[in-house]
Amino acid sequence: MLTRIDHIGIACFDLDKTVEFYRATYGFEVFHSEVNEEQGVREAMLRINGTDDGGASYLQLLEPVREDSAVGKWLAKNGEGVHHIAFGTADVDTDAGAIAEKGVRVLYEQPRRGSMDSRITFLHPKDCHGVLTELVTSAQPSAATD
């Protein structure tokens, strides 16, 4: 069951400048940052709020580390902006399987490693009315709360 907005993924050209915009404008601080080589991104997670399933909701700021990565290609075509949305679930395998049975293309056969050791998969934007959609199971939901 999808129980929260886990994050909104925002593509940017300069992660440090974008982090500073969110800090100076809204007061949001970096909760976690990492490079995910497989996904081809340098990213910062800004924690916005906790949720009643023990998880949280974040903004995920994404800077490509390679031009031919998903975010690099998207930025070259569209410029900065909202790249994807991500729903949180306690069981990404079951939810991805159930959604695939409805005819929506799930991009990974098995979930891959996402931010903070979460397990993630994606649904094809052309099957989701133009929205690249990610499904996320946090490593430890309790660790995502203060």
Q: Which residues are catalytic?
A: 7, 43, 60, 84, 134
Minimum distance from CB of 141 to ligand CMX (Å)? Answer: 18
Q: Would you count residue 9 as binding Co ion (CB under 5 A)?
A: yes
> For 10, how many CA atoms within 13 A lie in the half-sphere containing its CB?
17
Stretch that binds Co ion, among 6-14, 29-37, 49-57, 71-79 (CB under 5 A): 6-14
Give the three-class secondary structure for 69.
Answer: coil
- Sign of CA pseudo-dihedral 77, 47, 7, 120: positive
Task: Please classify residue 46 by burial: count the beta carbons closer than 10 Å to its beta carbon, then call 0-12 exposed, 13-18 middle and 19+ buried.
Answer: buried
Nearest CB to Co ion, comparing residues 46 and 86? 86
Site for Co ion in 97-136 (CB under 5 A): 134
* Chain residues in the site for Co ion (CB under 5 A): 9, 60, 86, 134
